[in-house]
């Protein structure tokens, strides 16, 4: 089986897929609203500092473990020591749980694309959004459509499915994003949005901000779920992953900044609030589209942009359990994808309904959607990243001097991988669980 494992056609297609995984709802939906809630420019500074110093190491380690072991997550952990098989299993499990709530937002996006094409006139977006997410049949239907699209691409395999989706979606994403940035920057008072993003008010700095920035950084870089490990396992032997690590971090950060430059000037230009939370792109932004000429075309472009970003990340999320099922259970990709469609569908339906009929059904005091979000981003993802760093540093003995020329930086890498990052992740877990 291992001999005929799939691999990327070229370094470029791998980079596109890895950047496609990283750049997703985390950049366009989550980053602006978390930044909006945490004081704007200071948050950006903290976030950039964390990305450049801390997040580089686990990202590199994930790719390296995949490339060295050439196995999906369970096999990769097992090949280091059979006792670690269970720790590896947590990755595809996390993938299934992340997909079950991430794809709900994907469903909302499809609904908004349909709405833009239908040229629907909506008076009050906040009540529209609430009534849409409460409508069981349509909300579940859209979630399942999004799930189906991701599963369909993934079922077609690495080259015909995953590479194809990324080769089409990522350039489309970049072009639409640039177009929308130009549009946003030419609105009256656009500079107020840029000031909000880039003029820090240091009095707003606080401990919670560091936590929010670290959680955001891990999520947006796709760290802690085995997605990069799985993608890394399809890299051919002779390709360096150090350059890829830089490229992924640089592109992801650039796209997050570009998303901010697209969103904040428009928000300030129309006198809206940047701190409206998760509803920022579904309630606040559509109010802008309702007021401008050709608003429905701009709106369609914006939600297609979100769709492209969400699909390429969604594919990488489900590739983790699919690769495990194909390689462990020795079943075909199509069969694995079909089974996974039903498993994720079964979990995502109650999660979708948690905005409507299951609103009062609580797990540990949280709705199903919030429970999935919390257990994955606050517990499972930091936990997976922790196990991965420990295994890479202490057992696989990945060392900085294998790939970094400068002795001092190589030493910093080793200390980071073996001690600093694990300690930070334990602290993150502890605070998350408190
Ligand atoms: N990084 C993706 C985003 O920003 C989400 C993701 C998390 C994808 C974990 C894969 C693995 O939306």
pLDDT at 127: 87
357 CA from centroid of ligand 1 (Å): 28
Rounded Cα distance between 179 and 282, Å, is 20
Q: Is the pLDDT assigned to residue 98 strictly greater than 90? A: yes
pLDDT for the residue numbered 87: 97
Residue 183 has pLDDT above 70, yes or no: yes
Give the CA-trace dihedral at 35, 40, 42, 47, to 10 degrees: 20
What is the Cα–Cα distance from 270 to 149, expressed in whole angstroms?
A: 35
Q: Which of 66, 90, 227, 321 to mutate to test the pocket of ligand 1 (most atoms within 8 A of CB)?
A: 227
pLDDT at 250 over 90: yes
pLDDT tens across 33-52, in order?
Answer: 888 888 889 999 999 999 98
Structure tokens at 90: 């947590």
Q: Which two tokens stand for residue 181?
A: 């940035």
pLDDT of residue 2: 46
User: pLDDT band at 274, cuts 50/70/90?
Assistant: confident
Query: What is the spatial distance between Cα 179 and Cα 116, in angstroms, rounded to a whole number?
Result: 17
Q: 2-433: which CATH architecture? A: Up-down Bundle (1.20)
Q: What is the pLDDT of residues 323-344, one digit of tens each?
A: 999 999 999 999 999 999 999 9
Site to probe by mutation for ligand 1, drawn from 220, 306, 315, 382 as the one with most ligand atoms within 8 Å of Cβ, is 220
- Distance between Cα 206 and ligand 1 center (Å): 26
Distance separating alpha carbons of residues 58 and 81, to the nearest angstrom: 20
Q: Mean pLDDT over all residues of the chain?
A: 92
Q: In the structure, which protein residues have their CB atom closer than 6 angstroms to any atom of ligand 1?
A: 21-22, 24-27, 219-220, 222, 225, 227, 313, 316-317
Confidence (pLDDT) at 1: 43
Inform me whether the pLDDT recorded for 70 exceeds 70: yes
Q: Are 222 and 249 in contact (CB under 8 A)?
A: no
| pTM of structure | 0.93
Decide if pLDDT at 149 tops 70: yes
| pLDDT > 90: percent of the chain | 75
Residue among 182, 180, 170 at smallest CA distance from 300? 180
Atom of ligand 1 nearest to the CA of 25: 12
Return the CA Rg of the chain.
21
Supply the pLDDT for residue 3. Answer: 55
CA 219 to ligand 1: nearest atom: 7
Give the distance (Å) from ligand 1 centre to CA of residue 427. 22
pLDDT, position 207: 81
Does the pLDDT value for residue 173 go beyond 60?
A: yes
Structure-token pair, residue 170: 């990522």
Distance CA 281, CA 194 (A): 18
- Can you give the pLDDT at residue 350? 95
Tell me: pLDDT of 298 over 70: yes
Q: What is the pLDDT of residues 54-69, one digit of tens each?
A: 899 999 999 999 999 9
Q: Nearest-CA neighbor of 397 among 422, 418, 416, 423?
A: 418
Closest approach atom of ligand 1 to CA 223:
9
At residue 297, does pLDDT exceed 80?
Answer: yes
Cα(324) to centroid(ligand 1), Å? 18
Q: What's the CA-to-centroid distance between 162 and ligand 1, angstroms?
A: 15
What is the whole-number distance in angstroms between the Cα of residue 270 and the centre of ligand 1? Answer: 30
* Nearest protein Cα to ligand 1, atom 9: 222
Q: Report pLDDT for 368.
A: 94
Span 377-389, pLDDT tens digits = 889 999 999 999 9
Tell me how far the alpha carbon of residue 269 lies from the centroid of ligand 1, in angstroms.
30
- Ligand 1 atom closest to 313 (CA): 8
Q: Looking at residue 39, what is its pLDDT?
A: 85
Q: Best substitution site from 19, 24, 218 to test ligand 1's pocket, by max atoms within 8 Å of Cβ?
A: 24
Q: Which of 46, 60, 19 is nearest to 416 (CA)?
A: 60
Condensed to tens digits (0 to 9), the pLDDT of residues 308-328 reads 999 999 999 999 999 999 999
pLDDT value for 402: 84
Closest CA to 369 of 54, 200, 133: 133
d(CA 383, CA 426): 8
How remote is the CA of residue 98 from the centroid of ligand 1, in Å?
A: 9
Return the best residue to mutate from 19, 22, 91, 376 for the ligand 1 pocket (most ligand atoms within 8 A of CB).
Answer: 22
Nearest CA to ligand 1 atom 10: 222
Of 271, 244, 237, 301, nearest in space to 28 by CA: 301
- 23, 251, 316, 372, best to mutate for ligand 1 pocket (most atoms within 8 Å of CB): 316
Cα(272) to centroid(ligand 1), Å: 28
Instruction: Compare 228 and 203 and report the one with higher pLDDT.
Output: 228
């Amino acid at each position: 089986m291992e001999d005929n494992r799939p691999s990327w056609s070229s370094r470029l297609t791998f980079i596109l897929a890895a950047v496609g995984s990283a750049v997703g709802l985390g950049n366009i939906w989550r980053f602006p609203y978390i930044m909006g809630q945490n004081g704007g420019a200071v948050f950006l500074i903290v976030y950039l500092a964390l990305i450049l110093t801390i997040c580089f190491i686990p990202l590199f380690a994930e790719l390296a473990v995949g490339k060295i072991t050439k196995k999906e997550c369970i096999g990769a952990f097992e090949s280091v020591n059979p006792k670690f098989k269970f720790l590896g299993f947590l990755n595809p499990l996390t993938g299934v749980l992340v997909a079950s709530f991430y794809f709900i937002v994907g469903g909302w996006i499809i609904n908004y694309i349909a709405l833009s094409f239908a040229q629907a006139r909506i008076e009050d977006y906040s009540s529209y959004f609430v009534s849409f997410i409460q409508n069981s049949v349509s909300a579940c239907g859209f979630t399942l459509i999004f799930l189906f699209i991701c599963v369909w691409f993934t079922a077609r395999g690495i080259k015909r499915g995953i590479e194809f989706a990324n080769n089409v979606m990522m350039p489309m994403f970049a072009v639409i994003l640039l177009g929308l940035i130009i549009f946003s920057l030419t609105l009256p008072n656009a500079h107020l949005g840029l000031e909000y993003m880039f003029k820090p008010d240091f009095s707003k700095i606080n401990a919670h901000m560091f936590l929010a920035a670290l959680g955001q950084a891990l999520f947006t870089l796709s760290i802690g779920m085995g997605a990069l490990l799985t993608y890394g396992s399809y890299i051919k032997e002779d390709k360096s992953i150090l350059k890829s690590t830089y490229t992924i971090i640089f592109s992801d950060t650039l796209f997050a900044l570009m998303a901010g430059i697209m969103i904040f000037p428009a928000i300030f230009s129309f006198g809206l609030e940047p701190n409206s939370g998760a509803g920022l792109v579904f309630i606040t932004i559509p109010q802008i589209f309702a007021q401008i000429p050709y608003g429905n075309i701009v709106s369609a472009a914006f939600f297609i942009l979100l769709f492209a970003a969400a699909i390429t990340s969604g594919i990488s999320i489900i590739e983790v359990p699919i690769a495990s099922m194909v390689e462990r259970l020795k079943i075909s990709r199509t069969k694995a994808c079909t089974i996974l469609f039903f498993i994720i569908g079964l979990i995502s339906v109650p999660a979708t309904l948690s905005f409507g009929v299951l609103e009062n059904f609580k797990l540990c005091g949280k709705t199903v959607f919030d429970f999935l979000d919390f257990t994955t981003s606050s517990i499972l993802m930091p936990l997976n990243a922790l196990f991965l760093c420990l295994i890479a540093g202490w057992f696989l003995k990945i060392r900085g001097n294998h790939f970094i020329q400068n002795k001092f930086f190589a030493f910093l890498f080793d200390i980071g991988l073996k001690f600093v990052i694990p300690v930070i992740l334990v602290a993150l877990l502890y605070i998350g669980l408190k």
